[in-house]
Chains A and B, each alone.
Chain A
């Protein structure tokens, strides 16, 4: 009986590994003494995680979950509710649409696709920020975070692929 229960719990945990990883990265990025420092713009790690899991776990990766995770992120960073879910859904939508063309390609091509998709997402983020504040937002910090996100992608991809293999999701 105990074995069955632990097996079920283990199976349940495996199913929510993508969500847990995104949530963990979201919370990590807002920690006051984070590894990235406070003023230095940190990479948008959860966006990379959404891209990764959209390619590798699309079947279990539901829109509702992304909206909930995005709203949690909005609460933590103080953005307007709905702001981060729009970015998550953009990445999810495009990567799901192009999944068949991307998934089995060499890593440098996947990286290139990620830089294009995240670039488009950052343009949307900049447009929404400008719209919300009713003024032209300085594009510099966005470009910095975009570059940091793209540069950090291989490390995160490596990490998430190891997690994926470890829990065999």
Chain B
């Protein structure tokens, strides 16, 4: 008989289960060999997956979308109680400051009411001028509001998942804004969620202009807090503090969405500080810019 069986006696003095000693001595090296082989296969498979994902292979995209739809509700459920407690504690902490905040807000409301009267006058004037000059405006932009679900805090990439999916009107290429300015662009959509590539990501490039001088440029992320302004015209007169807004060139993003202020100019290197408060980014808004749809339809038709 190949497999020798031994009779072991346990600590308590009575007989224990019989162990096939030779069998286990055969299995252990095999298991170790399999684990080493599987390790190498695993690394190779992962590298292949990264290349395929980068290459935009449709199957990998589908897998990613399906997995996102499956995993996110679970993670949300797991962290729901923790987030609720955290929010409750935050609310409790802020309770002391509520009275002062109300006073500040009341003062702001008074100021804004005064500004509103001026703004309403300017709007009427603006509408009349548009009518007189037969100005062709961009179509109205619909706004969809949602919340940030996950937010990557690593240096590898800057993206976030939001709870607005295809079912709620999210589509690829739409601009996502906060109350302060542009957050990013939608790069992946599932039925219930969408992934936003932040403007600070290394892969983000957006056509912009300086608000006052209208100098065109491209704003680029590099995974850090600052953005870089590239392809600036040689004769442009930039200054620290200048506001940068979207140009609307290319038709994907609406024009004049604020992005940031020039923070530093060092020769040809121009750094821009984003207006978005990344530390407290909770609610976001998607701009359903219908001009982008019209443009893509037109381009598709003309290519056919």
Contact = CB atoms under 8 A, between A and B. Distances in A.
B279 A133 contact: no
A145 B154 contact: yes
Contact of B47 (A31, A72, A82, A141): A82
Contact of B49 (A40, A41, A81): A81
B39 to A, nearest CB: 5
B46 A85 contact: yes
A68 B72 CA distance: 15
Contacts of B60: 81
Interface string A110-152: 0000000000000001001100110101101110110000000
B153 A36 contact: yes
A72 B54 contact: no
A1 interface: no
B217 interface: no
Interface stretch (B10-18, B78-86, B97-105, B136-144): B78-86
A141 B278 contact: no
A80 B147 CA distance: 23
Interface string A2-21: 00000000000000000000
Interface in A11-65: 24, 27-34, 36-42, 44, 62-64
Interface in A77-91: 77-83, 85-86, 89-90
Give chain B's interface residue range (CB within 8 Å of chain A).
Answer: 35 or more
A40 B280 CA distance: 11
Contacts of A81: 49-50, 53, 60, 63-64
Nearest to B53: A80
B149 A32 contact: yes
Interface majority SS (helix, strand, loop, mixed), chain B: helix
A31 B154 contact: no
Contact of B39 (A78, A89, A125): A89
Contact of A75 (B54, B68, B202): B68
Nearest to A125: B156
Nearest to A44: B154
Given A78-B195, A79-B156, A142-B155, A38 B50 contact: no
B64 A129 contact: no
A24 B75 CA distance: 9
Contacts of B153: 29-30, 34, 36-42
B148 interface: yes
Given A30-B75, A34-B153, A85-B42, 12 more contacts: A37-B278, A39-B153, A39-B279, A70-B46, A75-B64, A77-B156, A80-B50, A81-B60, A85-B46, A93-B39, A138-B223, A141-B223
Interface of A: 24, 27-34, 36-42, 44, 62-64, 66-67, 70-72, 75-83, 85-86, 89-90, 92-93, 125, 128-129, 132-133, 135, 137-138, 140-142, 144-145
